[in-house]
Structures are given as C-alpha cells and as structure tokens.
Structure 1
Amino acid sequence: MSGFVIQHNLAAMNSQRQYNLTADRNFKSAEKLSSGYKVNRAADDAAGLAISEKMRRQIRGLRQAEDNIQDGISFVQVADGALNETHDILQRMNELCVKASNDTLSDTDRSYINEEIQAIKKESDRIFNTTSFNDRNIWNIEIEDPVIVGHDNIQALNVADKDYTHHDIYPENKDYMPVPNTFIVSADATNGVKVSWTSFNGNTYSSDYISWEQLKADNYKYNISEHLSSYSGETLEQLKDYLDETIYMSVETTTATIEDYVKALNNAKLDVNFSQYATATFDSPSDTGGISASASINIYAKDSSSKASTNAYSFQSTSNDPFIEPVTTSGTNLTQISGNGTSDINTAKQSTTPWIFKFNMSGIGGVTAKSSSVTFYSTDSRPENEDVWWEYTNSWKTGTRILTHTATKGGNLAGVMEALTGSTGVLTQDNLGDTNVGGTVEINFSLTADTSFSSAGNSSRTDVGSMTITIPVTTSDTEQTILNKVNKALNPTTIIDLSHEGKDYFYWEAPEEKSSIVKVPVYGGQIGMIIQSGSEADNDIPIVYEKLNNGVLGIRNLEITDSASAQAAIDTLKGAFKIVNEQRSLFGAYQNRMEHAVLNDNNIRINTQDSESQIRDTDMAKEMVNYSLTNILKQSGESMLAQANQSKQGVMSLLQ
C-alpha cells in the first residue's frame, strides 16, 4: 500500500495473523509430542476418535477376558489336582480290596484293611466337600438352577392326533364352512393363543385369545368354539357347528417354555377336508345273511382346476371356489371284486391274496379299493367275564389278559382264519375266548386314487377314504361256516353299489407334515459356570461338570468284612474309577480349550491395538519435524512483526 497512514498497520496485521497460525500449529505439535497422542481431543480427528474408542473397548475387554480365562484355567487345575488325589485314594482302596480278596487272610486281617479303607474314604469325601477356588466350592454346591445339557425335539402342535370330528353340511350353514388352507394359529408371549380363518361367505373370523395361564390350567388344550365372544346370534351358532374342535399342544411343560410354544404355534396351519358318506350295499348275491358294507368317501378340498367328470360322483364348482361340492348321481360303476375265494379251510389259512375292486371318481379318476386288515370282535358270555371284550386287529390283541402275539396276516383269508382260530386266536379256550356270542368279522378296505391329485394348498395326495364289510358270527358258527360267509360276500360275481346317502360333511385333519416341532432344552442336575472369554456378551465358555462325592462314586457304603465283599468292592471301585476318569478328562479338555481361547484373545487384542495405535498415537519423528518447522516460522514471524511495527516510524520525520 502506498502513502503514509497510521490508523492501520496492515503489514503488522498480516505478520500477526501468520504468527498466530504458526504459533497454533507449534502448540499442537508440542501437545502431540508431550502427550504421545496425535488425537488429544475430538476436533483433532472426530471419526478417528470414535473408531479408536470402539477399539479400546474391545482391547480392554479382551485384556480382562484373558485374565478371566487364566482364572478359569486355574479353577480346572485345582479341580484336576483334587481328582488326582482322589485317584490315588481309589488306587490304594483297590489295592487293599485285591489284598483282602485273598483267602490267605483271616477276617481279623481284613478288619485292619477295612479300617484303612474307611479312613481314606473319609478323606475322599472331605476333598469333595472342601475343595474350593476363590471361596467357590467346586463340588459341594446346592444346584439351584439346573443347566442345559442338550435339546429334544418336542411336538408342540397337534390337532386331535388325526382323530377326525365330522361336521354335517346343510344348505343353511354351508356359507359358514371354513375355507381350506385359511386356518392360521397365532401366539404371543403376552396374550396367549388365538385362531383366525376365512369362511365361504367371504368373511374373516378370529377367536379370542386364550391366556397361557388358562391353557396351562386346561392341560394345554384350546377348544375354538368356546372362545368366540366377538360373535352372537345366528353367526355364533353357525360358527360353533364347525369349530367344535380342540387344539392340543405338547404337554412337555417341564421343558417347553412359552417362548418355545410361541415359536412353534405362530403361523401354523390347521387343515380341513370334505367328505360324503356312501351306503354300500350288495347287488349280488341277493341273500347276504346279514352281511353289510359301508364306505366313507373323502371328497378332498381340491384346487379349482379339477373339473367334474362322469361316473360314480359328479361335482359342482366355480372357477374361484376351492370347494368342489358333491351331489348325488344314480347308477353303479363298480367292477366285480377279485381276490381269494377258496372254501377249503387249510387252503384258506395259507391264502394271502387281498380282495380288490375298482371304481371311478369324478375329478380324481380311477380308485382302487384293496383289503388292508381284518378285525374280529366278540364278547365273552361267561358270568365270570361279564362285559369283557376281546379285540383282534391284524397285529395286536387286547383284553383282560394281554396276549403276546404278533400276527403276520392282513386283509385276506389267512388273516380271517388266524383272527378266529389260529394257534393264539382270541376264540381259543386257552386264551379265555368263548363261542363268539354277538361276534363280527370286519374286513377293512383302503380307497386309494390310482394317480395323485392336488387338493387345496397344492398338496398332493392319493387317499380318498375307506370301506368296511361286516360279517356276523353266531354261537353256531364254525371255521367252515364263517369261511362260507366270507366267500359269499366277496367273490368275483359280487357287485357293491356305492350310493350317495345325501349327507355331506367336512372334517378336521392335522397331517404329520404340518405338525410344528420345536427344540426345547433338556436340563440336568449338573454344576455349571460361565467363563467370560471375550469382550462381547455372548463370548463365553460354559463349564459343565457332574457334582461328585462318595455317594456318586458308589463307595460311600463300601466296607470289607470277608472275601466276597472285598471282591464286590473291586467291581465297585472299577465304576468309581470310570466316573473320576471321565471328570478328569472333561476338566483336561476344558483347560486345553481355554488355553487356545486365551491365545486367540491375545492375538485379537495385539492386532487390534496395532490398528488403534495407527489412529491415536503420535509418530514422534514426523511430529518433531513439524515442531522444528513451526518453531523456526514462529521466530521468523516475531522478527517480521517487529520490523512491520518499525515501518511507521517514518511518519515522525514529517512532523519535525
């Protein structure tokens, strides 16, 4: 700037500004050199400080964890040392027992041996009762909270165990039927359990919550129809018709917690299916002598792509309706029955060919009915066995006396004959049977679709129902007459007419593949402790071991009185050695694990410390260069500031 001015000394002002900047840099360098840190405040490196403090938390936690693990190693070493002394005691006891077993000794000699055994037994128990680490007893502990020793799979949801309940369908209540695949169970730890679903009237419904306390009081059962307080009048009555069903949860209440049940139950689906009941009558022969047949045909809730065809049943369905409604048709489309039909008793007892017939089912196609089992029922009419029932079903028998017999025959003539008068048949006098008063033979058929079909929810299935043919047995019947009745009912000329009875129903089902399984902890009476082995909450090493004393080892009552007791004591001590060996091996494994853990913690801590040092610590050589530079600039700035102040002295010459 030209001219002489005295109000502003810009040269001095610029010199002062540069001096202040240099002085600030020099001060910070001096601070870093004196503290050893290049980050002394958040302003020095805001992001670096946050990262550094996070690392320091981990580093200091790991340093303490290393000490914790060393304490844990010391703990198991104390335990191992005590067990080592126990081993020596057991070795001496075994040595004495072997000596006492020898018949060269008298009972008096054995009494001297027994005195030593009793003395060292007391020391063994004292070791278990008093051995401690940092005032914590190792074995003499009251186990208040048993520790987890494993997990079991528990079935936490099961609906009636496939015990179907039928609900009749009428025109006036059809709209309230539940739509398949819409039943959803929901649960939470606070409110309990409820169920929601959609009906064919398009409405969505929901039950009340039932509390966990109430569930426990009811043995973990939940009847839906009893928890519909949101509804009234006709709606409530119609819903009750369909919802009189019980959800059964696992009763493993000692192991499954509420959280386990919540996990298992949430979004679990219950299933419903639809059926029609068909009367099954014989068209040929005309005289059936009281023989009857009945069938339950399951019309499963199918996807809407399954359209009606002709033959035995027809169906009504809309493109958006997953329920295909069965309606009555006339006529018969059954083929004749094929299968065994011999009238010779000896041949019949060897005949294992099943009875088979086929029919068509619209929307599904061919269905095969195949005999699957034979069931025999009879009462014992003797006064001493009044009202006692015998039952035989394919592979088991029950009654007042359990019979240990496994049948090898199924739904065939051999099964019929064995059920009646086999070597262990229920009618033989040796097995308390009587002359089959009011008895019946039932031959059971399984109805299976020849090809699988899709039901609601796109699940694939082939089972479509069952049929039973009932043959009465009287007191005058013999093996031959019963065989004749079976052949009369089931022979190649017999045709069975399945006619729709006019009543349909839906039923509940809980397929096994939809059951909810939950893993629940299994607790044991063991001693547990936690070694905090890292800087995070879940970084720990659990130590679980058995509570030991002379009683657990089996030596508390060990005493030597004669050769026999000495020999028995040898076997007892063998078991004690096994227990102590297992515990010493366990403690050794824990020590090895903790030694690896402390080395790993040390490795993590050192390398994290190195990274944190890069952020936080001062590079002394580099910072000394900065300090020297700013020191020279500071001195230079002081000199320039003095000269700038001197430049205004020229004004005085103008005033002279």
Structure 2
Amino acid sequence: MKINNNIQALNAYRNLNQNQFNTSKNLEKLSSGLRINRASDDAAGLAISEKMRSQIRGLKMAERNAMDGISLMQTSEGAMQEVHTMLQRMRELAVQAANDTNTEYDREQIQKEIDQLKLEVDSISEKTEFNTRKLLNGFSAVLTTFKMDENDINIMDYPRVTDANIKSGDYTLAVGDVTFDQVLTQPAAGIDSKDDIKFAQTGDAVNDGGRKMGEYTILVRDVTDGYARVEVLDPDGLSIGVKSVEIGEDDGDDVEIGGLLIDTRKIDRPGTVKVKIEAKAEFTLKNSEGDAISAPKTLQSNNGLFRYDGIEYQFSNTMTEGELDFTITNNALSFQIGPNTNQNVMIDIPRMDIVTLGIENVNVLTNDNANNAIFALDQAINKLSEARSKLGAVQNRLEHTINNLQVTHENLTASESRIRDADMALEMTEFTRNNILNQSATAMLAQANQLPQGVLQLLQ
C-alpha cells in the first residue's frame, strides 16, 4: 500500500479529463452545427471545404450577374422594340406617300411626322441607359475601321465582327485565289447553261463600284420579230437595267445589262431566269505581327458575304486578291457568369441612330423618293431585327446558364455540407455517451481517492 502515488486516482483522472475534452468537442459541434470548427478538427477537410465555399459563393454571385445581364439586355431590347415600331410607322407613311393621290402639300405633311420619328430614334439611341451605362449609342459596340486607300481587295463595307470575344488590335486580311462561279437556279426563255450569264468585269458594268453577288432575276418579255425586252433585277429585287436586244442570232457578243453579260442569242421565248453568282477565295487572318491567327481557309460566299473566324466580309463582283489592314476596337460588355477567371460571355450592342440604320436622308416628298424610302426602311428594319435577335439569343443562353449555375450550386453545397456540417444525431449520441462516462469517471475518481484511507487501519 502506498500513499505518495495514487495510481488508480491518476488513471481515473486521465480518463475523466479525456471524457471532458470529448464532451467539450461534442458541445462545440452541437452548438455550431459544424463538424469542422478549426483546422485541427480535419485539416484536409477544411482545405477542401474552403475551396468549395469559394466556388459556392462565386456561383451564387454569377447567378446574380447573369440575371443582371438579362435585365440590361431586356432594357436594350425594349428600346429597340420601340424603334422597331417607329420604323414600321415610317414605312407605312412611305407607302402612303408613294401613292400619287397625294399632292405635294400632302407629302409635306407626311414628311413632318417622319422627321419627328427620326428625331425620336436618335433620342432613344442617346438616352437609353441601364445603371447610368448608355446602351444604344455605340459605346458597347465592336467597331472596325480601315483607310480607303488601303482597300486592295475592294471590300464593300467595313468588316463586321460577329464574335464579341475578338480582341482589340490591328489585323490583316489576306485574300487569294479569287474565282467567280454561277449556278442557274431557274432556267427559262431558252437560257439553260450557267455560262450564259456572268458578271461583266470591265466597262460600264462596274462604274458604280461593282454589283452585289447573289441571286439575279432576268425577266424576258415582248419576244417578237427577233427582239426581246430584257430586264435585270438585283438580289434585293431592284431593277438595275432594261434593254431591247436581238435574239436567236448565231453571231454577235453577249449583251451587258445591269452589270451582267447575258447570251441573248439563246433567248427564244418569254420567261423568268434566275442565276446565283458567287465567289470562292482563300482567306487568311493575321495579327499585327503578321502571324496567321488561324489556318488559311477556302470559303464560298453567300450573297457576297464571307464568314471567317468571327468576322463577316461583304464583297461585290470587283473582289480581287490582295490584303486589307484594318483595326478592331472592341467595347463589348462582359458578363461574368461563372465563379472563376474569364468565365464570361461577351455581348456587343450596336449603335441604333438613324445614320447607322441608313435612314438619315429618308424623305417622301416625291413618288421616287417615297419608293426609295420604302427600300431604305426595309433595310433598317432588317438591321434592327438582326440586333434584337442576337440579344434574344443571348438572353435565352443566359437563362440556361442560370439554371446550370443553380444546379451546380445545389450539388456543390451538398458536397461541402458532407465535409463541413455536423451530423447532429451522431453528435448527440456521442455527447450522451461521453456525458455518462464523465459521471462514471467522476465517481471512480472519488473511489480511487478513498483507497489510501486503508493505510489508517494499519496505524490502529
């Protein structure tokens, strides 16, 4: 028997201390609801769950960003809708003014409303805002420019960027192996070969900068006594030339009408001929250092339009081989729709004033002007429809993005919960067990402390 060292009491104390520590842990988890309250609880689990928490919070904010992006685009599209309404009204007035039942005075009154509507189109373009950001004044557009004296390839208009992810900078477009070809989509009037109609490349045919590529219509009428009246309509349906020509002759040359060379010798009856004339060429896009951004590609035009690496190029029949230096200024809006770097979607909103829409000179003061106005307003309506369609497509995309973010957020939260959150039922069971052990250990410590009392019996 010993009294200096009570080993049984030390053992009971050690177990009591351990049980109290475990009980403290149980209470901490039960009160916080977390399995991991500090790194020592689960070092690896803490690191994993903190990374998941970053993703979860990023996903939630990305969802809000996407919703805000939709709101911005809806604001833009709502303004465009009103511009659309005004363009339709202007076109209606132009159709009215094209009728010669109207006097000069009548057309002047119609023009007054058109002028006011044009002013309001410009006003909407300048004043439409979202969170003080102007939307339709071109500040959010992707712009391209080039010097006209560097237009070696005879491009008709500025390159049009369709991929808003393209970076700002200087670019070079190299065009090679240009060939023209035609397809006779509707033979008639004795013209049965694609070689019977082609572009005229010299002389009066190109004195206005060239003709559009696309589907041309040749109307053959009044076929009598070896002659026929031939009219050519361009791809827009506009008449670009009418001639009375000799037909059925074995000798002679092709006749140029509206920029087309037509073998009129084969005409033997009235009819409507349709021919689609397009070009094929090899395109290479280079950066400012002269390096090719992507591999050269041979492309076929569609109505003179070539689409290559997110940029559209419009050519006429004067298209030639060569290079074009141009500059892209990308002011497109970036919507952060993911939790990580560069998980965004770019959207450009073009300027929507009367100059961009091509209606700044629209007037209906004469019959001819009114008819020209109808055509110009049709083109403007098409431009606006295209811009609205693009916005609508991106809105639909963002709605799917939001759904995906919500599902990802839900599943990632469940995964983080399995790592970080406490199982309350399990912790309560452990707490009850440790609480009982605490009481038992306390009782045993009291008993162990009584053991040295037996030494007193030896002293009696």
Say yes or no: TM over 0.5. yes
> Structure 2 residue aligned with 1:90, among 87, 91, 94?
87
Kept in 1, the 8 Å contact 2:135–2:349? The answer is: no
> Structure 2 residue aligned with 1:563, among 360, 364, 367?
367
> Structure 1 residue aligned with 2:97, among 97, 100, 114?
100
Give the residue type in structure 1 aligned to 2:385.
N
**Corresponding residue for 2:334?**
530
Whole-Å Cα distance in 1 between the matches of residues 326 and 16 of structure 2? Answer: 76
CA distance 1:153–1:27, change in 2 (3 Å) = farther
CA distance 1:259–1:9, change in 2 (3 Å) = farther
CA distance 1:137–1:143, change in 2 (3 Å) = closer
Give the residue type in structure 1 aligned to 2:384.
V
Q: Note the alpha carbon deviations across 1:564-588, whole angstroms, 9 max, x for none.
A: 2222111110010010010010001
Whole-Å Cα distance in 2 between the matches of residues 127 and 94 of structure 1? Answer: 19
**Corresponding residue for 1:67?**
64
The structure with the largest alpha-carbon Rg is 1
**Corresponding residue for 2:179?**
none
Whole-Å Cα distance in 1 between the matches of residues 380 and 76 of structure 2? Answer: 17
Whole-Å Cα distance in 2 between the matches of residues 632 and 109 of structure 1? Answer: 102
**Corresponding residue for 2:430?**
626
**Corresponding residue for 2:42?**
45
Q: Note the alpha carbon deviations across 1:203-260, whole angstroms, 9 max, x for none.
A: xxxxxxxxxxxxxxxxxxxxxxxxxxxxxxxxxxxxxxxxxxxxxxxxxxxx855777
Whole-Å Cα distance in 2 between the matches of residues 538 and 115 of structure 1? Answer: 50
Which structure has more relative contact order (CA 8 Å, sep 6+)? It is 2
Kept in 2, the 8 Å contact 1:526–1:547? The answer is: no
> Residues 2-41 of structure 1: matches in 2 within 5 Å?
4-41=1-38
Whole-Å Cα distance in 1 between the matches of residues 421 and 444 of structure 2? Answer: 35
Kept in 1, the 8 Å contact 2:358–2:380? The answer is: yes
Confirm or deny that 1:601 pairs with 2:405. Answer: yes
| Secondary structure of residue in 1 paired with 2:45 | helix
Whole-Å Cα distance in 2 between the matches of residues 150 and 597 of structure 1? Answer: 32
Offset, 1:58: 1.1
Q: Note the alpha carbon deviations across 1:357-385, whole angstroms, 9 max, x for none.
A: xxxxxxxxxxxxxxxxxxxxxxxxxxxxx
> Structure 2 residue aligned with 1:543, among 332, 336, 347?
347
**Corresponding residue for 2:378?**
574
Q: Note the alpha carbon deviations across 1:405-439, whole angstroms, 9 max, x for none.
A: xxxxxxxxxxxxxxxxxxxxxxxxxxxxxxxxxxx
Whole-Å Cα distance in 2 between the matches of residues 611 and 546 of structure 1? Answer: 43
Q: Note the alpha carbon deviations across 1:495-533, whole angstroms, 9 max, x for none.
A: xxxxxxxxxxxxxxxxxxxxxxxxx99754564111111
> Residues 346-361 of structure 1: matches in 2 within 5 Å?
none
Whole-Å Cα distance in 2 between the matches of residues 547 and 589 of structure 1? Answer: 19
Confirm or deny that 1:585 pairs with 2:389. Answer: yes
| Secondary structure of residue in 2 paired with 1:531 | strand
> Residues 504-515 of structure 1: matches in 2 within 5 Å?
none
Offset, 1:53: 1.0
| Secondary structure of residue in 1 paired with 2:333 | strand
Offset, 1:536: 1.6
CA distance 1:33–1:573, change in 2 (3 Å) = same
Whole-Å Cα distance in 2 between the matches of residues 33 and 154 of structure 1? Answer: 72
Whole-Å Cα distance in 1 between the matches of residues 385 and 24 of structure 2? Answer: 68
Tell me the TM-score normalised to structure 1 length: 0.43
Give the residue type in structure 2 aligned to 1:654.
L
Whole-Å Cα distance in 2 between the matches of residues 593 and 110 of structure 1? Answer: 46
Q: Which is helix-richer, 1 or 2?
A: 2
CA distance 1:632–1:148, change in 2 (3 Å) = farther
Q: Note the alpha carbon deviations across 1:596-622, whole angstroms, 9 max, x for none.
A: 111111111211111111111111111
| Secondary structure of residue in 2 paired with 1:32 | helix
CA distance 1:69–1:523, change in 2 (3 Å) = farther
Offset, 1:150: 10
**Corresponding residue for 2:446?**
642
Offset, 1:655: 3.7
Offset, 1:88: 0.6
Offset, 1:78: 0.7
Offset, 1:548: 2.2
**Corresponding residue for 1:56?**
53
Whole-Å Cα distance in 2 between the matches of residues 521 and 19 of structure 1? Answer: 84
> Residues 374-413 of structure 1: matches in 2 within 5 Å?
none
Q: Note the alpha carbon deviations across 1:64-109, whole angstroms, 9 max, x for none.
A: 1111111111111111101110111011111111111111111111
Give the residue type in structure 2 aligned to 1:571.
F
Kept in 1, the 8 Å contact 2:142–2:350? The answer is: no
Equivalenced residue count is 299
CA distance 1:647–1:259, change in 2 (3 Å) = farther
Offset, 1:549: 1.2
Offset, 1:8: 0.7
Whole-Å Cα distance in 2 between the matches of residues 263 and 113 of structure 1? Answer: 52
Kept in 1, the 8 Å contact 2:170–2:288? The answer is: no
Whole-Å Cα distance in 1 between the matches of residues 391 and 445 of structure 2? Answer: 77
Give the residue type in structure 1 aligned to 2:72.
F
Whole-Å Cα distance in 2 between the matches of residues 536 and 125 of structure 1? Answer: 39
Tell me the TM-score normalised to structure 2 length: 0.60
Offset, 1:54: 1.2
Kept in 2, the 8 Å contact 1:527–1:546? The answer is: no
CA distance 1:117–1:589, change in 2 (3 Å) = same
Whole-Å Cα distance in 1 between the matches of residues 328 and 393 of structure 2? Answer: 20
Whole-Å Cα distance in 1 between the matches of residues 40 and 60 of structure 2? Answer: 29
Q: Note the alpha carbon deviations across 1:276-326, whole angstroms, 9 max, x for none.
A: xxxxxxxxxxxxxxxxxxxxxxxxxxxxxxxxxxxxxxxxxxxxxxxxxxx
> Residues 265-280 of structure 1: matches in 2 within 5 Å?
none
Whole-Å Cα distance in 2 between the matches of residues 578 and 654 of structure 1? Answer: 115
> Structure 1 residue aligned with 2:114, among 117, 139, 142?
117
CA distance 1:262–1:130, change in 2 (3 Å) = closer
- Which stretches in structure 2 are left out of the alignment for 5+ residues? 144-167, 177-284, 295-323
**Corresponding residue for 2:124?**
127
Offset, 1:557: 2.3
> Structure 2 residue aligned with 1:78, among 63, 75, 79?
75
Offset, 1:16: 0.5
Q: Which aligned segments of 4 or more residues in structure 1 are displaced greater than 6 angstroms?
A: 148-151
Kept in 2, the 8 Å contact 1:527–1:547? The answer is: no
| Secondary structure of residue in 2 paired with 1:541 | strand
CA distance 1:35–1:550, change in 2 (3 Å) = same
Whole-Å Cα distance in 2 between the matches of residues 148 and 561 of structure 1? Answer: 44
Offset, 1:545: 3.5
CA distance 1:532–1:151, change in 2 (3 Å) = farther
Offset, 1:626: 0.5
Kept in 1, the 8 Å contact 2:173–2:286? The answer is: no
Whole-Å Cα distance in 1 between the matches of residues 175 and 95 of structure 2? Answer: 49
Kept in 2, the 8 Å contact 1:143–1:525? The answer is: no
- Which stretches in structure 1 are left out of the alignment for 5+ residues? 156-254, 265-519
Kept in 2, the 8 Å contact 1:526–1:546? The answer is: no
